[in-house]
Amino acid sequence: MFQEKPTHRRLRGYAFDPSLSKKIDTVDINNIVYKVPWEEPLEVGPVGEYVEVMDYDPTIEKFYSPVDLNDKYILASDGLSPSESNPQFHQQMTYAVAMVTIQNFEKALGRKIIWAPRLLEDRNKYEDYVQRLRIYPHALREANAYYSPLKKAILCGYFSASPADKSRQMPGSLVFTCLSHDIIAHEVTHAILDGLHRYYNHPTNPDVLAFHEAFADLVALFQHFTFPDVLKHQIAKTKGELGKQNLLGQLAQQFGTAIGRYGSLRDALGSEDEKGEWTPAKPNPYDYDKHTEPHKRGSILVAAVFEAFLAIYKRRIQDLLQIASGGTGILPKGELHPDLVNRLAREASKTAAHVLRMCIRAIDYCPPVDITFGDYLRGIITADSDMVPEDTHHYRLAFINAFRQRGIYPEGIKTLSEESLRYQHPSAGLDSKTKALLEIITDFLKDYRNAIMYETDREKIFNISKDHIAGRGVLGLHDRIGMKFKDSPQFEKLTGLVFNHQCQDFGIWMTHNGPSYQIQNLRLVSRVGPDGGDPINQIVFGLVQRMRVVRKNGKYRIPDDISKPPKKSFEVLGGCTLIFDLDKIDLKYAISKPLLQPEKLDTGARELNFDRIEKHYIYETEVLPFSLTEAARYFGNGFKNNFGEPFSIMHNR
Ligand SMILES: [Zn+2]
């Protein structure tokens, strides 16, 4: 009989990290089987479609022989058994976690993920397709692991533990970051986010790098809820109260302890002191003003999203608790009935999956540069309203409340309500000429959709998108926008970017006949909502403009000679995400970080957006160096030298 290809490969691994297999209360739940998408071919390494594990240890100049996951004995035993001392298992573990993380993104986004392209010499021109992210399980001999945007690789370190207290961990024992689900999921998320928004590793305000960190933590955290046995165990332990200390809300336990902390590296819910006492964290609206170090600041966003999750979960289990407690809401003493644990776990996993999807989908609704937490909240609310118009379970309200409690308010809105957070449809205020021009663009985008709709090969998707931007044989999207909108003040107002050729006075990055801009991440977004309602059919892309300015006597201006900008000049980024509705042939949203002053454009004046420039300047000169000095001092290298590796110094702690 003919056997169909399997959909999944089963691979054993740690749910968290090896340390939990050494504790009596977690040993039974920590060894799990990852269900990884079946890849064929899958070479030894493993080397598949998305990732390649390269096990070279430069400190001892040694290659470890690569695991063959298709070996019949390995295949028949759900992969190698978890082991700290077997490098082939390390390879298997990194591969499994990376693939599960990628799968979660593809499910939420409804499209293939593509790594950030390799930018060669002339970084504005040359973009090379990167098929595989490289993972080095033993790349560094230090307490660190990071994603390198330059190398398109994840470098995992290993080191000897130096715990604060001998009873927590054996001092000197080896800790491998590649064996931590949380660390691998976190780093892979950095890589995926880099592929979606390349400018999110350009720190132009205190939220940008913090957002990268928070987003990576959120994905790792919510993936905990996809491990059924872990979830049931923790629900039984906390009697369903997931706001209490539990493993699901913690990240990188072994790593945290090994670098001398009490408890995990990060905990979304609270913190542990030296006596082992755990106290829940309380939201403090002043933290957001105070913390500029990316991880600390990022943890505010993580806590906000986690609280939103808890609020939604509590609502969803209310009826179950009523039934189980005979209407009192207070559960009887003793253990929960296993049936109740199962039902609570089902609700928790459903809610977590939904919240994770909301968090991932919001990425398509964020500006291409200079993101703030407030922008992200607006992205979450808008993306979710597109998907689920009736918010019967008040998911969106839960997010808004949690952000408000932490003092996170988006700029430029007057009230923190769902209605004002949702981006508005811009077409209403446009004249017929601009509307007609937008229709021409939409028609072109339809051609792009037809070319890409059924394409499943990632390299072809990359090349088709690239050709549609640059144009091959026909005029591409880039030049079409430049030509159509060169005299359109309305388009400038919509995007906040400079398209008018007559703006020599600004001197903004002149190319042959106009200020230059890039098109980023052209993509087709097709999704069906949870109720199976009308599918969403959108084309999204980002416009990015870079502008060099000099500051003199507190005023900003464009350098006279753009080809030789003065040393003291700095670069400001402007950008706009445009979302087109293909069914209604309409521009649905324009999410902008303007270089031009939008209010001035109303009066016909074209003035630089001094507010944004000033904020950027203050951040770059006064806040950024300071917020990273601690890390720089600790590792003896300045931030400047490390700029190409924005995630390396930050993980080194
Ligand atoms: Zn990170």
Confidence of residue 119 (pLDDT cuts 50, 70, 90): confident
Distance 483 CA to ligand 1 centre (A): 40
- Distance (angstroms) between ligand 1 centre and the Cα of 268 equals 15
**Are 19 and 254 within 8 A, CB to CB?**
yes
Band (122; pLDDT cuts 50, 70, 90): low
Q: How far is the CA of 212 from the centre of ligand 1 (A)?
A: 7
In this predicted structure, what is the pLDDT of residue 531?
A: 66
How many Å lie between the centroid of ligand 1 and the Cα of residue 190? Answer: 7
Report in angstroms the alpha-carbon separations of 399 from 186, 306, 318, 416: 22, 9, 19, 11
Whether pTM exceeds 0.75 = yes
Residue 278 token pair: 């755990």
Q: Which residues contact 59 (CB under 8 A, 6 or more apart)?
A: 140, 141
Q: How many helices (H) and strands (E) does the chain have?
A: 21, 20
Q: Report how far ligand 1's centroid is from the alpha carbon of 176 (Å).
A: 17
Locate the DSSP E strands across 3-132. Answer: 8-14, 31-37, 51-53, 56-57, 62-63, 118-119, 127-128
Q: Encoding tokens for residue 519?
A: 């098109």
Q: What is the pLDDT of residues 9-59, one digit of tens each?
A: 999 999 999 988 888 888 889 999 999 999 999 999 999 999 999 999 998
List, for residues 549-607, the tens digit of each pLDDT value.
Answer: 888 777 777 776 666 767 777 788 899 999 998 888 789 999 999 988 877 777 777 77
CA of 648 to the centre of ligand 1 (A): 8
The Å distance, Cα 71 to ligand 1 centre, comes to 34
Q: How confident is the model at residue 489 (pLDDT cuts 50, 70, 90)?
A: confident
- Nearest CA among 526, 519, 509 for reference residue 482: 519
Q: Are 273 and 250 in contact (CB under 8 A)?
A: no
Residues forming CATH 3.10.170 domain(s) in the chain: 8-196
CB 617 within 8 A of CB 570: yes
Distance 299 CA to ligand 1 centre (A): 11
What is the distance in A from the centroid of ligand 1 to the CA of 621?
A: 23
Q: What is the DSSP string of 214-280?
A: HHHHHHHHHHGGG-HHHHHHHHHHHTT-TTSS-GGGEE-HHHHHHTT-SS-SEESSEEE-TTS-EEE
pLDDT-derived band at 628 (thresholds 50, 70, 90) equals low
Burial class of residue 1 (count of CB atoms within 10 Å of its CB; 0-12, 13-18, 19+): exposed
The position carrying tokens 């049931």 is 232
CATH of 8-196, picked from 1.25.40, 3.10.170, 1.10.3470, 2.60.120, is 3.10.170
Distance 480 CA to ligand 1 centre (A): 38
Does residue 377 have a pLDDT over 70?
A: yes
- Report the pLDDT value the prediction gives residue 636, as an integer from 0 to 100: 32
Distance, C-alpha 437 to centroid of its chain: 33
Distance 295 CA to ligand 1 centre (A): 8
Using pLDDT thresholds of 50, 70 and 90, give the confidence band for residue 331: confident
pLDDT band at 643 (very low <50, low <70, confident <90, very high): very low
Strand segments, DSSP code E, in 453-502 are none
Q: List, for residues 128-149, the tens digit of each pLDDT value.
A: 899 999 999 999 998 889 999 8
pLDDT of residue 625: 74
Q: How far is the CA of 191 from the centre of ligand 1 (A)?
A: 10
Q: Which residues surround ligand 1, an ion (CB under 5 A)?
A: 213, 216
- Token duo for residue 347: 């609700």
Angle ∠(508,509,512) on CA atoms, nearest 5: 115
Question: Mean pLDDT throughout 292-320?
Answer: 90
Ligand 1 midpoint to CA 208 (Å) = 12
